[in-house]
A = this chain, B = another copy of it.
């Protein structure tokens, strides 16, 4: 991927061909903030989804699978809500999702299967279907950046800030833009898309190519984020491609590489934002693994370290406890050679086939910033991988002991 990628401003509305809107349907009991969002593409677009691997999949996930099978990878809109996961709701939950979809399809004059749903919030509560349908039928759609930010804000649950990103590449003289929004915060762990996210692009690309390009990127970005080890019932990443950048469909070669570069930039940025805003988090943890047997091993080791409660608690206390890092890598399943293993905390080498003489105060200082960099070399090959996590604080426990049931 040699294409030059530049950051762009805006989120899902950075690419051409999209509009967004949000409104309050009063789903949350004690809040009048917006809780429904709609992302619309001007004409039916290429659509690809990466959905939770959780067997207790929510109603919107079940509906999305059927709809994408029916359309073969086309969509006009994504409708999202916070405050209610519409999971564990049985046949009534499927019907609720379909009614909301019907309201959007009626408004846009498209087939219901072209409207893809996503929900986040409490499992088991019923969606107030009529209020949500009314809200999405009536909200204003706009292509102004503020509308995208408002949509990103509407899907927040325990997130403390909206998450947006955009990047641009030039292919054959044509700019192609990728934009995205996401929410994360809790029940965040790898296992096939790990949050709600919508990523848009104006590239012209068919579903098969888009999925092939995006698959490996999802593996090394969203699937490498861990907040608490709990894979959600609702995890969803939608990718929409409007084709408005023009040109023939991207199929392979330099153009596909360039699209991948921009997608990677947006997905990495959103993944990092999700990690940094984990429930109760005060610091992001970036774990970089090299010297693994292969990239899969490297990613597994990185994920184990970033997801270890003991490492997370040590980072919270700025305790440069390399033993916990080694132990987490050791249980990850990745091949490692204890005699060749090296562990850095920030720039401080703490272990190299045995404990290293080092200044613990310097290592501790490297754990006090907003981002704590942990690096391991497994001494087993050339594989590399990265994972992102966050520290474990008493606030995480407080949030999750008291989350309203």
Residues of A within 8 A of B (CB): 53-57, 85, 87-92, 122-124, 186-187, 189, 191, 228-233, 307-310, 313-314, 316-317, 319-324, 326-331, 334-336, 338-339, 341, 351, 353-355, 360, 392-394, 396-403, 405
Oligomer copy total: 2
- Bound-state Cα–Cα, A122 to B320, Å: 13
B231 touches A88 (CB 8 A): no
- Give A233 Cβ to nearest chain B Cβ, in Å: 5
B88 touches A326 (CB 8 A): yes
Known: A309-B228, A327-B54, A354-B90. A398 touches B405 (CB 8 A): no
- Give A207 Cβ to nearest chain B Cβ, in Å: 27
With beta carbons under 8 angstroms apart, the residue of B230, B314, B317 that contacts A324 is B230
14 extra A-B contacts, CB within 8 A, seeds A124-B355, A228-B309, A233-B323: A56-B336, A88-B326, A88-B355, A90-B353, A187-B327, A191-B331, A229-B308, A230-B328, A313-B397, A314-B403, A317-B402, A319-B403, A321-B405, A323-B405
Known: A56-B338, A56-B341. A397 touches B397 (CB 8 A): yes
Secondary structure call for the A interface: loop
- Give A312 Cβ to nearest chain B Cβ, in Å: 8
- Bound-state Cα–Cα, A329 to B338, Å: 34
With beta carbons under 8 angstroms apart, the residue of B89, B334, B393 that contacts A354 is B89
With beta carbons under 8 angstroms apart, the residue of B123, B317, B322, B405 that contacts A327 is B123
- Bound-state Cα–Cα, A230 to B308, Å: 6
> What are 18 A-B contacts defined by CB distance under 8 Å?
A54-B327, A54-B330, A55-B329, A55-B338, A56-B327, A56-B331, A56-B341, A87-B327, A88-B326, A88-B351, A187-B327, A228-B309, A228-B310, A230-B324, A310-B400, A313-B399, A392-B400, A394-B397
Most chain B CB inside 10 Å of its own CB: which residue of A88, A91, A354: A88
Task: Point out the residues of chain B lying under 8 angstroms from A355, CB to CB.
Answer: 88-90, 124
Task: Point out the residues of chain B lying under 8 angstroms from A90, CB to CB.
Answer: 338-339, 353-355
Known: A88-B355, A338-B56. A186 touches B323 (CB 8 A): no
B323 touches A122 (CB 8 A): yes
Q: Which residue of B lies closest to A90 (CB)?
A: B354
- Bound-state Cα–Cα, A56 to B230, Å: 25
B228 touches A405 (CB 8 A): no
A405 touches B360 (CB 8 A): yes
Task: Point out the residues of chain B lying under 8 angstroms from A401, CB to CB.
Answer: 313-314, 316-317, 319
Known: A55-B330, A55-B338, A56-B338. A124 touches B187 (CB 8 A): no
- Bound-state Cα–Cα, A186 to B353, Å: 25
B310 touches A186 (CB 8 A): yes
Task: Point out the residues of chain B lying under 8 angstroms from A231, CB to CB.
Answer: 327, 330-331
- Bound-state Cα–Cα, A104 to B266, Å: 61
- Bound-state Cα–Cα, A294 to B279, Å: 35
Task: Point out the residues of chain B lying under 8 angstroms from A229, CB to CB.
Answer: 229, 307-309
Task: Point out the residues of chain B lying under 8 angstroms from A403, CB to CB.
Answer: 314, 319, 321
Known: A327-B54, A394-B397, A405-B319. A92 touches B309 (CB 8 A): no
Task: Point out the residues of chain B lying under 8 angstroms from A322, CB to CB.
Answer: 88, 123-124
